[in-house]
Structure 1
Amino acid sequence: MSVERTLHHFPLDPASRQVRLALGEKRLPFAETHVRWWEQPDDFIALNPSGVPPVLVEETSKGRLAVCETRAILEHIEEQNPEPPLLGRDPAERAEARRLLQWFDRKFDAEVSAFLLHEKMEKRLLGYGAPDLANLRQGREALRHHLRYIEHLLAERDWLAGRRISLADMAAAAHISVIDYFGDVPWNDVPVARTWYMKIKSRPCFRPLLVDRWPGMAPAPHYHDLDF
């Protein structure tokens, strides 16, 4: 059955980037609509009453389906397109991938992104003034903790959840890539995490993220380099 997909998203949103990576890794074509979510546009609210991107809209001969919120979209993609599997092929790896999805979407987001991305991106979009230096310091210190945890996981694994790339890697890379856009990742201090990020950054699914730009917010000079 033919499926026409449109992803409504914000390019520098970690949640949206997870879905883009999953669609790209499964080689599922999709059109894109950029959403200025902070303006709460009526047409987007009609798709998702929470006003939060991403939303994946699928058109088929049977009708139209709007799938809202990141985890629901990722699970939908996995159910409808099981190959290649992005939750692992055995129960242990699937459980670990789900645990790490929750880790990055809840713990990393609250301890790192809520400070760094709020100060560097959201305040600018919302017109809230200059970044708070204390919040930036707190976010950067928490980022170092999470990068050390990534290195701990990779000490005995090829990818974060096990032997194969999974949604856990995509969640981590989606969050970290936006912070890297603003140049706040101390890559020289975490060589194992840096090698992992270079691996996922070199995959075809990641390439569209490297050309993302938003007016008034230029990326760090190394952002688009595969060998940085």
Structure 2
Amino acid sequence: MRVLILIFCALFISNSSSESVFEGELIYHHDMKMNSKNYSESRKFYDTLTIRYKDKNYIKLTNKKSYEKILFIDSLRKIYVIYKDNLSKSKKLSMNEDNLNFGKLYNRENSHFGKIISLSKSDTILNFDKKNLELKKLFVEREYGNEIYIYSDTDNFKFTDNRNILRNIGEQIHPKEIATELNNAILYYYKLEVKNAELYEEYRLVEIRNKEIKNSVFEIPKHKDAKGFKRENKKESRFKYYELTE
């Protein structure tokens, strides 16, 4: 009996040690269409998304012409959106703070597209980095939309948490059924399609850059209260508005 326990422990340790926490950059091609209009070609939207990830913290950068950077700090449970404020006379960068602790928002598992109706898992092949990879496909049917997740269950590198960082913050935490299947995997492909509407959004992984990310990358820029928003910036407010001072 002791021998069997030792063998099991050795196999578990070996399997655990083969998985490494991912740190680096993920480059995605983004596409969104609504009523036959390709929004990724519009100057207001983007076709490339770069994500820098480390220790549950991340930065999302898009290539849309109006500058925008999304910064998430896990220890604070806060997300910061830094953007060009075209309404500001100074034309300097502004910043919004979204406090996810407000109303237990961070722990929310609900989706705008309703409850899960069914899950189905299958094998699939996806071309990545000029190679055909054997991957897993998870199809999720919801009340008002469908989701497709394509991922690898054999990759060495995993996230330290199980969140769909491709979606907006309100829908990033996976329900347990999805989280169990994905097991912290990096998504090679994700698609959201709305039922009874000509609308979909998809992300396709283009490049994985596994490299060290400096902690300074996640520093919150120096800021001050935005003019006209002092009243909204009270402590109990979920959203706050700032102007960057540097």
Q: TM-score scaled by structure 1?
A: 0.25
Q: TM-score scaled by structure 2?
A: 0.24
Greater gyration radius: 2
> Greater strand percent: which structure?
2
> Greater helix percent: which structure?
1
